[in-house]
Amino acid sequence: MTDHPTFTHTETGTAESRWRERPEWEQVAPVQLATTAARRLVVVAAHPDDETLGAGGLTAQAARAGLDVVVVLVTDGEASHPKSPTSAREALARERVEESRAALARIAPSGTLVRLGVPDGAVVDHATEVVDHLVDLIGERGEATLVVAPWRHDGHADHDATGRAAGVACRRTDALLWEYPVWLWHWCEPADAPWAQLRTLAVPADVQDLKREAVSLHRTQVAPLSDRPGDETVLHAHMLTHFDRSYEVFLPLDAPSDDALDDLHESSADPWKVRTSWYEKRKRAVTLASLPGERYSRALEVGGSVGALAAELAGRVDHLVVIDESRAATNAARSSLGSLVAVEVVQGSVPEDWPAGQFDLVVVSEVGYFLSPSRLRRLVVRVESCLTDDGAVVLCHWRHPVRGWPMDGPAVHRHWSEWSDVPRVATHVEDDFRLDVFSRTGAHRAGAS
């Protein structure tokens, strides 16, 4: 299987009969909607019709099972007929969106259609925007949400970019991810298909009939716009046969890596101006003043970025471990903190890559909202499992909206308080940030030693 296949929709492509005769189908495991924890289905489509072709059967069954169904059209598909003499791009976009609306009404009458309006053919240039919209849509309901999106290796640039963006959104929100192939069936040699990753969802006969009707409603794609050159059919019968099966095919994959913060640190030596901003300098001073102890033996800073807070924490601890997921941030922190022998900077993802040993101070500053809700919950457990009996935890976060992740600072602090077994002993709230101190001891009280 090639990484970047070259094909056009005008080619005959791989015959459906060649796919159906493959013996590998006998080894493909089934999936069932009922075995997931999903109470909501979000179907992401690069173009209007992808959602019906790749997941129309799943969508109909989800609606029957009482799930909330949302279909997200990333583009309006205005570039399907670039040389059309009869249909302007704007008119074609409107028509294709209405076709998807009609198809959704046929298979999931209570479903909701959402348009993102990304330019057709340019999803890769708007990937961050797509991620942000999907994260906003999923919110903190990720663990109850199944997201299905185009396979990230489908061979069409918009499909691939949409699949990756949906995957990143799932990583940030804890949503379950199933990817569906569309153009794979057209360009791939069956022997080269990713058989080990494929799963089949049974589509009952009556649901097949519904899906056929829904597919037929995408008239601009399954029939010519006119008999003039440039208005030819996009989805010929030989392509449509791949989606007229008694099953649909999905790839339940792990979400791809999320490089947003690393890219941010690569593009800027100090992306949040922590070294120069008076706001950041003052916030660090408030953080240091809020530490309940005068000095600590072994401290951990989670999400150290370029090392500005660590440089000041180092004066209060015998040994400080700073961990950050970004390679670029870690390199910057090592460079700025290299002369401080008491500071150890490590690259790792929290809570998965956890440093060994106990700590009597853990600082979680401006990083909690860059975790999914489940990862934040596991971070609380990790922190408390390594906290000494007399240890303290300090949380400090921006209180304003954070785009592209499901939680903001107030949500992080609220959840931490709900999930923590360590009492909160101090709180400092300003318009821009909130700081909380958690400790099992009375070391924060006046006169304690």
The pLDDT tens digits of the residues spanning 209-218 come to 999 999 999 9
The pLDDT tens digits of the residues spanning 184-209 come to 999 999 999 999 999 999 999 999 99
When mean pLDDT is compared across 61-70, 146-155, 339-348, 374-383, the lowest value belongs to: 339-348
Q: Token pair of 321, please? A: 């471990």
Q: Token pair of 10, please? A: 């005008």
Domain residue extents for the chain: 16-250, 260-439
Confidence bin at 2 (pLDDT 50/70/90): very low
Q: Which CATH number fits domain 260-439: 2.40.160.100, 3.40.50.150, 1.10.3720.10, 3.30.870.10?
A: 3.40.50.150
Whether the predicted pLDDT of 240 surpasses 80: yes
* Residue 357 backbone zone (phi > 0: left; psi -120 to 50: alpha; other: beta): left
Confidence bin at 449 (pLDDT 50/70/90): very low
Q: In CATH terms, are 16-250 and 260-439 the same topology?
A: yes
Confidence bin at 78 (pLDDT 50/70/90): very high
Across the chain, mean pLDDT equals 95
The pLDDT tens digits of the residues spanning 254-312 come to 999 999 998 999 988 888 888 899 999 999 999 999 999 999 999 999 999 999 999 99
CATH of domain 16-250: 3.40.50.10320
> If you average pLDDT over residues 318-337, what whole number do you get?
94
> If you average pLDDT over residues 164-190, what whole number do you get?
98
Confidence bin at 9 (pLDDT 50/70/90): confident
